[in-house]
Amino acid sequence: MSETTIRSGYAKRTHTRILIIGGLFALLILLTGVAATLGSYSISVIEVFETILGGRGADSDISTIVWNYRLPRILMGILAGAALGLAGAMMQGILRNPLASPFTLGIASAASFGASLAIILGAGFAAGGSLIIGNAFLFTLIAAAAVYGLAQIRGITPETMIMAGIAIMYLFSALTSFLQYLGDSEDVNAVVFWMFGSLGRSTWETVSVVAILVGALFPLFLLSARSLNTLSAGDEAAKSLGVPVEQIRIGGMAGASLLTAGVICFTGTIGFIGLVAPHITRMILGGDHRFLLPGTAVVGALVLLGADSIGRTIMAPQILPVGIMTAFLGVPFFIFLFLSRRRNYW
């Protein structure tokens, strides 16, 4: 291979990856239009886009339905999918482990415990209607801090963080089971339903909060992409190449935990995206985090919005919780990619 082909090979790969991300993004916009047509009131895709481009406040049934009911749910699906995908990609990157996700590190089981505490005992950190949200958010951060604290005793390495995370996960799962054992059946039902994960509780306020969180953290994640790439060669090599390994690991953990907490406190636990969206993206785009991170955000959004759209229609008028649908939709696709790829993607 001559000099020009090393350079042009890189340029070609870069263009391909940008094109794929652009294509996935276009698909997401199309899916948004299709998702907004789903429901008992029939609206065409063209009408949906006209209504969205026409802005909020037009005095028509279509505008009310699209803006007030369907868009908050759809946007929450997009933002939650992007956030959980990013959180998973970050955790897999900083821990160099294909099984890492917000769930394997106990963060999500802590959120479930926080929500259970609010539902069953009415106890927690916030007042009134925000009790479940406040509890889920805070317990998520407490779990992240506990993982960090435990891991730090032996030094912040992927192994210590995963061991600490697994311990925390089992602890909070046991605590949640204990609360369910104490609770009456109505409360237990509510906890179980919360743990399925749902976009049904989305409002413009909750969408705004998640949008701010994703908007603030996504650029920081992108800035760390180069360090994450180098970290994949091991701590020692990364240090020697100038990467502040511990800061990246602690910052990445904090960022991923915040994103996860910010989403699942509103939606309940949606488990599958954080693990699998990064893998699907890695198989398509490769391991360079400069492309992997934005790609994962789009793929996470696509999978979550697609799952929710199918969940809303497949047994209509009954709506299946999105947490269940993500696995039904994502697992076959993931297995197909996994079996059909010749190359080692991890």
Partner 1 sequence: MVTIATDTVKFSYGSAPVLYNVTFRLETGAILALVGPNGSGKTTLIRCIDRILHPEGSILINEQNIHTMSRNDIATTIGYVPQNGTKIAAATVFDVVMMGRTPHMSWRLGDGDIDRIEYAIQLLGIEDLAERDYNELSGGQQQKVLIARAIAQDPKILLLDEPTNSLDIHHQLEALATISDISRSTGMTVVMAVHDLSIAARYADMLMMLKNGTIVAIGKPEELITPERIREVYNVDARILYDPEAGLIVAPLRAVPGVAL
Cα 155 from Cα 161, distance rounded (Å):
9
* Segment interacting with partner 1, rule: CB under 8 A, options 34-42, 57-65, 236-244, 263-271: 236-244
Name which position in 223, 317, 339, 340 contacts partner 1 (CB under 8 A): 223
At closest approach, how far in Å is the CB of 147 from partner 1? 22
Cα 115 from Cα 126, distance rounded (Å):
11
Name which position in 229, 260, 269, 309 contacts partner 1 (CB under 8 A): 229
Mark residues 155-184: x for contact with partner 1 by CB under 8 A, - for none: ------------------------------
Name which position in 22, 23, 98, 332 contacts partner 1 (CB under 8 A): 98
Residue type, 157: T
Residue type, 258: L
Cα 341 from Cα 101, distance rounded (Å):
22
Cα-Cα end-to-end distance for the chain = 26
At closest approach, how far in Å is the CB of 277 from partner 1? 15
Name which position in 244, 315, 316, 335 contacts partner 1 (CB under 8 A): 244
Nearer to partner 1 by Cβ, of 70 and 289: the residue is 289
Tokens of 306: 């697609």
At closest approach, how far in Å is the CB of 122 from partner 1? 45
Residues 10-29 that bind partner 1 (CB under 8 A): 10
Cα 68 from Cα 57, distance rounded (Å):
10
Q: Is 205 in the site for partner 1 (CB under 8 A)?
A: no
Nearer to partner 1 by Cβ, of 167 and 250: the residue is 250
Task: Kindly give, in sequence order, each residue whose CB lies less than 8 Å from that of residue 290, ignoring residues fewer than 6 positions away.
Answer: 222, 225, 226, 229
Nearer to partner 1 by Cβ, of 25 and 345: the residue is 345
Q: Is 287 in the site for partner 1 (CB under 8 A)?
A: yes
Q: 55 — phi, psi (to 5°)?
A: 85, 165
Q: Is 236 in the site for partner 1 (CB under 8 A)?
A: yes
Q: Is 346 in the site for partner 1 (CB under 8 A)?
A: yes
Nearer to partner 1 by Cβ, of 1 and 123: the residue is 1
Residue type, 197: G
Tokens of 75: 């946007």
At closest approach, how far in Å is the CB of 214 from partner 1? 19
Q: 244 — phi, psi (to 5°)?
A: -75, 85
Nearer to partner 1 by Cβ, of 21 and 108: the residue is 21
Q: Is 222 in the site for partner 1 (CB under 8 A)?
A: yes
Task: Name the 3-class secondary structure at 124.
Answer: coil
* Inter-residue contact 87 to 300 (CB < 8 Å): no
DSSP alpha helix (H) spans, the chain: 3-37, 45-53, 61-64, 71-95, 107-116, 131-154, 158-182, 185-196, 204-223, 225-231, 235-240, 245-267, 272-285, 289-313, 322-340
Q: Is 7 in the site for partner 1 (CB under 8 A)?
A: yes
Q: Is 96 in the site for partner 1 (CB under 8 A)?
A: yes
Nearer to partner 1 by Cβ, of 7 and 56: the residue is 7
* Inter-residue contact 84 to 303 (CB < 8 Å): no
* Site for partner 1, rule CB under 8 A: 1-3, 6-7, 9-10, 96, 98, 222-223, 225-227, 229-230, 232-234, 236-237, 239-244, 282, 286-288, 290, 343-346
